[in-house]
Every structure is written in structure tokens, then in C-alpha cells.
Amino acid sequence: MVRSAGVALGVALMAMTLLSQCSGSAIPMWEFLSRGEKMSHLYSMFAKQVSSYCKGSQDMPTNMCKRNLLMYGINKLQDMNESHLDSMDPYQRGAMI
């Protein structure tokens, strides 16, 4: 009886250890996000790309480069319809974002 309780406890501890190593996916279900959430996520990804691009750009000062590109990006995002935002899902296989 004591041995079977020890085995059960050992199995339970192993299972808990294995489960603690697994984590849930942090990838949201893109089609269930609101328009604002999609735009926010895409804009933050775009802002990171703009920042790295403008650091290496010699065409204009970094601040002006960032401001111009970020304004362009937000204007384009606001004009996009819902189906276009859905097609820009960064988590789909082969996404180019």
C-alpha cells in the first residue's frame, strides 16, 4: 500500500514537472482580435522595422526618417479594410512581416 502510494506520488510529480515545462501558445487567434488590436500589433511591428531602417539610413536625419515613415504607416493602416488586416496575420505560415 505504501509502495503504491509512493509510485502514485512519483508519477504525479513527474507529470507536474513535465507540464510545468510546457507553456501555452502566446500566439493570439488573429481573426478573433478587434480591428484596433490588429492595427496596434501591426503598427508596433512596423515601428521596430522603421527604427532599424532609419538607424542605417543616410538619406535624412533619424528623427525625420522615423516620423515620416511612422506617419505613412499609420495612415496606410487606418485605410485598410478588415479583410486586408486579416491577410496580414504575422503568425500564419510563410508570413513576410
Residue 10 within a domain:
no
Q: What is the mean pLDDT of each run of 10 residues along the chain (97 residues)?
A: 59 55 60 89 93 88 93 93 87 67
pLDDT value of position 40: 92
Give the number of domains in the chain: 1
Q: What grid cell was written down for 23? A: 507553456
Tell me if 71 is assigned to some domain: yes
Structural domain contains residue 38: yes
> What is the residue range of 80's domain?
31-97
Identify the burial level of 38 via C-beta atoms within 10 angstroms of its C-beta, where 0-12 means exposed, 13-18 middle and 19 or more buried: buried
Domain contains 14? no
> Looking at residue 96, what is its pLDDT?
62
Please indicate, yes or no, if residue 2 is contained in any of the structural domains: no
pLDDT at 90: 81
Question: pTM higher than 0.85, yes or no?
Answer: no
Q: What is the DSSP secondary-structure string of 68-81?
A: HHHHHHHHHHHH--
- Whether 1 is covered by a domain: the verdict is no
- Tell whether 26 is covered by a domain: no
